Amino acid sequence: MSEPRVFLLPDLGEGLTEAELVAWHVSVGDEITVDQPIAEVETAKSAVEVPSPYAGIVAELHGKPGETLDVGKPLISVTPLGSVVAADDAAPAPSPAQPEVEPAETELVEPKPESTEAEAYREEEKAGSGNVLIGYGTPGGHGVARRTRSRKSSVAVADPAETTPVSLSKEDELALLRTRVPGKLGAVISPLVRRMAREHGVDLGDIAGSGDSGLIMRRDVEAALRTTAPAATPEAKPEATPVAEPVEAPERPVESVEAQGRDARTGLAVSARTPVRGVRKAVAANMARSRSEIPEATVWVDVDATALMELREGLKANGVEVPGLLAFIARFVTAGLKKFPELNTRIETADDGSQEIVAFDGINLGFAAQTDRGLVVPSVRGAEKLSARELDAEIRRLTQVARDGKATPAELGSGTFTLNNYGVFGVDGSAAIINHPEVGILGVGRIIDKPWVVNGELAVRKVTELTLTFDHRVCDGGTAGGFLRFVADAIENPTSLLADI
């Protein structure tokens, strides 16, 4: 049997150097195929299923669920399927009473057909599957089809020259290391939820799901474990505890309040300790960096949005498909950024401490989206080229993929300016933190009825508050105020900019 091939944890996205292993989808001894999902990992960007670039038998799983793995470190070892077939099919040594080979059978007995999986593996080795990992696919042109059974003999005799695996070159291993794995639905995976519930004895029928349409999610099972599982004690363990298979979901023992200790400063018992990782870890690091590096300033203005609301109602009455309010405001923001490009820039600092302002030929408009995994900021690429309807369609699409955990690193990390609609939370204003390394973020509060002076008379109008937080290094208050006023005027007189809607 040849040496197993080691698959290294690939680069999961720009700037990401680690990932938390959520669960294995395979176990030692399983036969796997090229492109088969082998593990679920969670990064600061999204939840991802990692496919295997190799076919064969799982020899070793490098890591346990719940562990944080570094990019470039071993993830799984796979013994090539051809070498396993050769070892399994090899005939035992003949006894003295039995001839080694009967010449008549040598010519007449057909060889045992090789397995479909082995044949597929060899074909994929020769050509590369092309769809395992984004950008590279499986290595092509380096594999050698290996035959483990003579076509004219009933006795399987492996040819060492044919069964010796072809090891990947350093260039191929580097290609695998640098490949990008497509983000897949990871926040909710029904088999994972069912497996967790089964392994921990949780009755899914007793759980009220917190997902859409009452869908039971992983956090629901974990919450049930925290409220029902007793504290583990050494006496409760049987004398012979079976070794847990690596495919099992991470065991999260529920500690009692006494076991977690008492806080020295407050004197209160500690009820829970939650590791900061994944999306929450990335958000915390980015917000802390923004506060420490960016000298920000904030300006705000109340805006009469009555005309915009009436425009949307009129379009609805005519049976026209109407974009959401955020799409209209996004259209005004992109027009404002073209007029005030200083807010669509980034500051870069060189190794010698010198700085420069980097301007962009285009606008990638990010928008804050609340998901089950935390706050993420997908961005509409080339937003300045889109109409309000096109912006609405893209915003809806990105919101859905972000909530499903399918957003790619490019969709989550390429923004040049951020729009934040915190009005959906029922608040009027917020001193938002700039999404580093951008230099500005515009917040939109809720739209409510307020008294407003119109043509010298008091009236009830639909009013919202716009708040702009900007990096004072790239522009002064005049530029920031000009941009904010431009967007406000567009909301109050929407037809001036919505000829294309």
Catalytic residue positions, numbered? 472
| Sheet of 56-61, strands arranged across | 5-8, 74-80, 56-61, 31-32
The SS3 call for residue 308 is helix
**Residue 141 DSSP symbol:** S
Neighbours of 297 (CB within 10 A): 14
Cα angle 235, 238, 243 (rounded to 5 degrees) comes to 125
Cross-strand pairs, 375: 370
Please report where in the chains the tokens 């009469």 appear, as a residue.
304
Of residues 8, 11, 131, 15, the one with CA closest to residue 414: 15
Burial class (CB in 10 A: 0-12, 13-18, 19+), 316: exposed
CA 418 – CA 359 distance, rounded (Å)? 16
In three state form, how does the secondary structure of 187-207 look? CCCHHHHHHHHHHHCCCHHHC
In angstroms, what is the C-alpha Rg of the chain?
Answer: 30
In Å, the largest CA–CA distance within the chain is 116
How does DSSP assign 146-166, residue by residue? ---S-TT-SS----HHHHS--
Assess contact for 488 and 303: CB atoms under 8 A: yes
Taking the CA of residue 358 as centre, how many other CA atoms within 13 Å lie in the half-sphere pointing to its CB?
12
Tokens of 272: 């829970």
